[in-house]
Structure 1
Amino acid sequence: MTQTRRYSVEGMSCGHCESAVRAEVELLPGVSGLEVSAETGLLDLTLAEGAGLTDEAVLAAVDEAGYDAARQS
């Protein structure tokens, strides 16, 4: 069974911003799919079954891309 998570990302305004976030987050272990939208400011992740990916790791990857993020409930 897969798990999905949603994060809000502040400061994205274009496709380049989306690409920067995507490039960092897709490197994380266990990410099987992701959608990122500058228009909505959202990052949706799909994680493989058993993925032990922490929110902290996702937030650090988004920070590495130059943006701030927060987990949505």
Structure 2
Amino acid sequence: MSQIILKVEGMTCSHCKMRVEKALNGITGVESVQVDLAKGEVVVSGNANREDLVKAVVDAGYSAQ
């Protein structure tokens, strides 16, 4: 299991946090998701593909890299 850290812009509240968590938890290979609103970071644990994670965040309405 590995960890991928994404920088996510546009998250401002707990609703944003929940939306990003839901989007990422729907990706195959994701074991856990930890969102840090203050840092604008998301730590994803598991074996998911980074590009799939970024796409899920973008599709949820945020920018990610």
TM-score by length of 1: 0.83
C-alpha RMSD of matched pairs (Å): 0.9
Inter-partner Cα distance in structure 2 for 1:59 and 1:11? 14
Identity %: 29
Deviation at 1:64, TM superposition (A): 1.3
Which of the two has greater helix per residue?
A: 2
> Partner of 2:11: helix, strand, or coil?
coil
Q: Which runs of 5+ in 2 are unaligned?
A: none
TM-score by length of 2: 0.92
Deviation at 1:31, TM superposition (A): 0.5
Could you say which structure has the larger radius of gyration? Answer: 1
- Correspondence for 2:56: 61
Give the aligned residue type for 2:39: T
Deviation at 1:4, TM superposition (A): 0.7
Q: Which runs of 5+ in 1 are unaligned?
A: none
Inter-partner Cα distance in structure 1 for 2:37 and 2:57? 13
